[in-house]
Structure 1
Amino acid sequence: MIMPATEVEKQFIISRAAVTAKESMGSTVDISQEKAEGLLQAALYSGASLHVTRGPDGELAGWILLGKQMDFITGKQVGFMFELYVLPPYRKKGLGKLLIQEGVGILKSRGYEEVRFNVYTANPVKEMYSRLGFKELQTIMYI
């Protein structure tokens, strides 16, 4: 079960913004804590919400940042998962799947017909997203 983050949990999550961002990007980008915090704060300011899950010990185990985003091609508002993170001691226990499934449920209950997120190619969790039914929408290339 996931629930809204407390203020203390929000501050902890914000304090780890650079660590979680670097991990999700697979070390392809070196992002400063200030920049990572700014991105997280901007999402929260625009109405995104942080939801958490706890381990059997009651401690914070992971979180998901849920909001909305505009598809500028279609003009459609879509539900968006800005961040998903499970703390290392709690990985491989199904919490990522739980966060995604319940996060999608929350966004659908808010009226979004479609839920999206960005994932870096180097992120090993990408396979889990496919198993949960997500499909690739676009690929960004670089040189």
Structure 2
Amino acid sequence: MARHYESWASSAASRNVMRGNRRRDTLPELAVRRLVHGAGLRYRVDSRPVGVLNRRADLVFTRAKVAVFIDGCFWHGCPQHGTASKSNAEYWATKIAGNIQRDLATDRLLVEAGWLVIRAWEHDDPQLVATGIVEAVLARSPRTGRLGSAREGL
């Protein structure tokens, strides 16, 4: 028996936009992943850094304990590019404020567990983000010598 769910979106167009947003494999994320992979680093994608914590990072370097989040400007309240929704404004303001609080809590919990958290905005230069990630992972890697050539890849 098929169930029919009523959409809470304010309009059909709004619903289509929300359905088109992806949790993983966004264009900014793919650009950074391509560069980091090209530099010789390997990572987990859309993974929980700490198994008991129900939070997923975009890139996870388990040995170095580095978690990378590439945040969308609208969804995470970018001070530079974040915009206020015109329809259903109160709902979205509350939702985005909650996302910001969850991001701060996630960062705190991961740092307490010994992780380095790197956050980038979707509008950040992928080359600069990737360079920062590679440097952080190499600095925290127990076997930096094995990854020594990764610096040359960027």
Q: Give the TM-score range, shorter chain.
A: 0.3 to 0.5
Larger Rg: 2
Structure (1 or 2) with the greater strand fraction: 1
Structure (1 or 2) with the greater helix fraction: 2
